[in-house]
Amino acid sequence: MTSFSDRYTHIEKVAEGSFGDVYRAQDTQPRRPVAIKVLKERYANDAGALHRLRAEAERTVTVNHPNVVTVLETGETETGMPYIVMEWMEGETLAAYQARCSDGKLTYSDMLRIVKQVGAGLTAAHAKGVLHRDIKPANILLSHGDQVAKLSDFGLAAALDGGSISQGSYQSIVGSAGYLAPEITEGGDYT
């Protein structure tokens, strides 16, 4: 078996989150650029955090769609830190793109293209029984060139059962406050 450090080379941190860091690396089998999300070391002994990262990978790997970031594999580093390997996408988040736009506003045609593609990715996720629960500009990736939008970061995703998830089955509201669906802020179910 090839070790993490032998298989993935040229590792460079590209994003830092509260739960895990994302690195760009070169996969040597096959040769391709990849994104690797590694759980932060402070969560190494946190069973809940370990479960959440593994569950993210398990949920996302079932969704195979051009508008959802593809999970390629999961594993553990030599030090035991769990990781998820995903396709690498040259581009930026919708949040970064929006910040570069005039007055922070997208053009109508950009908005329609992005919403249509993200909607297609969500439809595919829902068809596999996966509910994202944290859709926001920072979790939408836009590729350079062909302008493909992909939904990423299924870290707060959950399994759909019967078309919705009862909020009562969770300890608290999940998601980013500024992007929650109105029904969630009013105590309704995730749909």
Give the residue numbers annotated as catalytic, written as ranges: 134
**DSSP-derived secondary structure for 51-114:** HHHHHHHHHHHT---TTBPPEEEEEE-TTS-EEEEEE--SEEEHHHHHHHSGGG---HHHHHHH
Q: Compute the distance between CA of residue 167 and CA of residue 171 in angstroms, rounded to an integer.
A: 8
Which residues of the chain are in CATH 1.10.510.10 domains?
91-185
Mean pLDDT score across all residues of the chain: 80
CATH number of this structure's domain 4-87, picked from the four choices 3.40.50.1000, 3.20.20.70, 3.60.15.10, 3.30.200.20: 3.30.200.20
- Position 26, amino acid: Q
CA angle 58, 60, 62 (to 5 degrees): 80
Cβ–Cβ under 8 Å, residues 113 and 121: no
% of the chain residues with pLDDT over 90? 31
Cβ–Cβ under 8 Å, residues 170 and 142: no
Which residues of the chain are in CATH 3.30.200.20 domains?
4-87
Please say if the pLDDT value at position 93 is more than 80.
yes
Architecture of domain 91-185: Orthogonal Bundle (1.10)
Please say if the pLDDT value at position 105 is more than 70.
yes
Between 44 and 69, the more confident residue is 69
Confidence of residue 191 (pLDDT cuts 50, 70, 90): low
Between 93 and 171, the more confident residue is 93
Tens of pLDDT, residues 124-168: 988 988 877 778 898 899 998 778 999 988 764 454 444 444 344
